[in-house]
Structure 1
């Protein structure tokens, strides 16, 4: 409930304030509904599993939750986009309007959507090829790939390889790009000649 309320406040603030209708607030505005969907796909089922009499997730519901979870795991790409936006705004302020133009923002969001759907589709395809020994439910509070691999009666080697590759390509790639963006920001601030200027830059 708190996550949904927080997301609603973000969307309302950005939508109602004309001063916030800038490319810098597009990623947070996109992150808000993503958080709502992520929370809504996990928390209700988690509460039903832990508090209700049924301690398992039916197979169909598990697959739906798995797809949404895999899709939304790519929200880390959105954080990388935000880091890039901050880097452009601070280090290339005179060119910011050109770098983050009205064409660039939709292109970045489209790339994010493509990465999310591709990641989820590949994992989903590999999961659907597994068999679970006739089980109609997954005995777990959260339908994630490790729980499905544990109860699979067929080889999960391809799934494990894909998980490893996704972790390297997405997690490590996003971490490195985010760290690079903020390293450039810190370096630019440290080159400010006055202490007062550095203090103002870090406070912002």
Structure 2
């Protein structure tokens, strides 16, 4: 289809997670609970808020419409927070490495200045990646096709609707996604290789168990996040693979943000003590 014989798209229709009507209410309740847990955990609030409220509305509405500019805005912030999450998880792996392998130097290496630099670097990478994806998307023309096979404005499902060449966009996806999955994954793998080597040298069983428990929740989150991201972006896109990717994307858009309070907060001894005191007051 050529742009000359068709009108430009002003809005998109989101297919959603499933078209089975009997699953809409149960899924609404499930994702509402996940969103509330994420918000109450006070972690990844903006990340979840970019996607989940619109997703919840779509479960209850018959026609899931999002405007063109709304879609591009969601795409930008989605890319920004997903890429920043890649590097935040990588920073946490480095934090675990320093805590276990160099505990005496932890306060020096992971100083407030160092932590601020890691976060700033994460957001700079996220900003550049999101700008690259969104900028390339804005140059495309969309004709009559406007039904996105997803529950959000993700890169690959939107690209499938373009009636102009998407070669540059696909090249940008390959480069940016490759960098943002491979570099953090290798860094995390090396960090945990050093951690494992250090743990195996610990003589006491209790010490090894404590060290492993410190990393367990982070390892699960990393596996879910990068594994589901690779399924979505590093496979050839087709209708079948897009349906699989839609399911896998639930993990890095909803499940991992919900788990982050367990990784960053509830593993903290002071937070656990405060939580026990609060719950104790409510019981008595």
- Equivalent residues in 2 for 1:33-112 (5 A)? 34=44, 36-74=45-83, 75-112=85-122
Q: Deviations over 1:107-129 (max 9, x none)?
A: 11111110111110010110000
Aligned match for 1:121, one of 131, 152, 155: 131
Provide the C-alpha distance between the structure 2 equivalents of 1:114 and 1:98, rounded to a whole number of angstroms.
24
Matched, 1:166 2:168: no
Q: Deviations over 1:141-178 (max 9, x none)?
A: 32111121111011101111111112221111111111
Provide the C-alpha distance between the structure 2 equivalents of 1:43 and 1:196, rounded to a whole number of angstroms.
41
Provide the C-alpha distance between the structure 2 equivalents of 1:9 and 1:128, rounded to a whole number of angstroms.
35
8 Å CA contact retained: 1:83, 1:182:
yes
1:196 Cα deviation after fit? 4.3
Q: Deviations over 1:82-119 (max 9, x none)?
A: 01001001100111111001210111111111011111
Provide the C-alpha distance between the structure 2 equivalents of 1:4 and 1:147, rounded to a whole number of angstroms.
24
Partner residue, 1:6: 37
1:184 Cα deviation after fit? 0.8
1:67 Cα deviation after fit? 0.7
Matched, 1:192 2:202: yes
Compute the RMSD of aligned alpha carbons.
2.0
User: Relative to 1, partners in 2 of residues 1:10 and 1:47: Cα closer, same or farther, differing over 3 Å?
Assistant: closer
Provide the C-alpha distance between the structure 1 equivalents of 2:38 and 2:53, rounded to a whole number of angstroms.
17
- SS of structure 2 residue aligned to 1:94: helix
Q: Deviations over 1:9-67 (max 9, x none)?
A: 444xxxxxxxxxxxxxxxxxxxx1x2x22222222222333431323322111111101
Provide the C-alpha distance between the structure 2 equivalents of 1:8 and 1:44, rounded to a whole number of angstroms.
12
Partner residue, 1:26: none
Gaps of 5+ in 1: 12-31
- SS of structure 2 residue aligned to 1:193: coil
Partner residue, 1:179: 189
Provide the C-alpha distance between the structure 2 equivalents of 1:10 and 1:39, rounded to a whole number of angstroms.
12
Provide the C-alpha distance between the structure 2 equivalents of 1:39 and 1:200, rounded to a whole number of angstroms.
31
The count of corresponding residues between Structure 1 and Structure 2 is: 181
1:199 Cα deviation after fit? 3.4
Partner residue, 1:133: 143
